[in-house]
């Protein structure tokens, strides 16, 4: 690897160990085994390096989650069974990738002061929503995009809420089975009205 790749790898490690705000240029240079000057040469600023490392880590996480969710409950599974199976895999990812989830919430609090972060997060939102709609609803590629985006937004909201609960207190966060039961109850209430 070259200095640039070493810096990105070191920045990812620091992000996972220390978080976004607590990571310094010296931390990254030490983790990467490079000089402080290498950060300026390759990225201009420590913030630019951290942002690039964060976006790369989030892309890797998204690909991993997509692969995990691709293994569905089987061809004969009901929508409720697919929902529960997907949520079991998502909740498992909270434990394995806790630092990455925590960083995302840390950054949400800083977005008003970082337009580039806001823009980057907003840029992936549409694709994330379409992906979630496909995973949970097996939508046809020619399906109505507005419907797909609305369904994806629902699942994205649920994902953020469950992740927040899990980060605060994993023991009391809802399980996949509890989420499925709650969704069935809500759907039943809507069916009555």
In a domain, 62, yes or no: no
In a domain, 93, yes or no: yes
| CATH code, 12 | 1.10.10.60
* Per-residue pLDDT at 141: 64
Domain count within the chain: 2
Give the residue numbers spanning the domain of 5: 1-49
Please list the helix, strand and coil fractions of the chain in percent, rounded to the nearest 5, in that order. Answer: 80, 0, 20
N-term to C-term CA, the chain: 61
Regions of the chain short of the pLDDT cut 50 = none
Tell me: do 92 and 165 sit in the same domain: yes
Tell me: do 161 and 96 sit in the same domain: yes
Label residues 70-104 b or e (16+ Cβ within 10 Å = b). eeebeeeeeeeebbbbbbbbbbebbeebeebbbbb
Label residues 28-64 b or e (16+ Cβ within 10 Å = b). bbebbebeeebbeebbeebeebbbbbbeebbeebeee
| CATH code, 88 | 1.10.357
Dihedral of the CA atoms 85, 180, 177, 71 (nearest 10)?
0
CA-CA-CA-CA torsion sign (137, 177, 128, 77):
negative
In a domain, 64, yes or no: no
pLDDT in tens, 71-87: 666 778 888 888 898 89
Tell me: do 118 and 87 sit in the same domain: yes
pLDDT in tens, 4-25: 999 999 999 999 899 888 999 9
Tell me: do 148 and 87 sit in the same domain: yes
pTM, to two decimals: 0.79
């Amino acid at each position: 690897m070259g200095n640039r790749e070493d810096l990105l790898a070191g920045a990812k490690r620091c992000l996972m160990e220390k978080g976004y705000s607590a990571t310094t240029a010296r931390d990254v240079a030490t983790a990467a085994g490079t000089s402080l000057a290498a950060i300026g040469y390759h990225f201009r600023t420590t913030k630019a390096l951290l942002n690039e490392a964060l976006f790369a880590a989030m892309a890797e996480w998204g690909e991993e989650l997509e692969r995990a969710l691709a293994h569905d409950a089987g061809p004969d599974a009901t929508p409720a069974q697919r929902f529960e199976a997907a949520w079991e895999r998502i909740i498992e990812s909270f434990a394995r990738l806790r630092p990455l989830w925590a960083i995302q919430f840390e950054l949400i609090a800083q977005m008003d002061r970082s337009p580039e972060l806001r823009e980057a997060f907003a840029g992936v939102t549409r694709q994330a929503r379409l992906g979630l709609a496909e995973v949970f609803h097996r939508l046809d590629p020619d399906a109505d995009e507005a419907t797909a985006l609305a369904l994806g937004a629902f699942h994205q909201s649920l994902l953020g809420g469950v992740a927040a609960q899990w980060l605060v207190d994993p023991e009391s966060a809802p399980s996949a089975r509890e989420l499925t039961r709650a969704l069935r109850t809500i759907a039943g209430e809507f069916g009555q009205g």
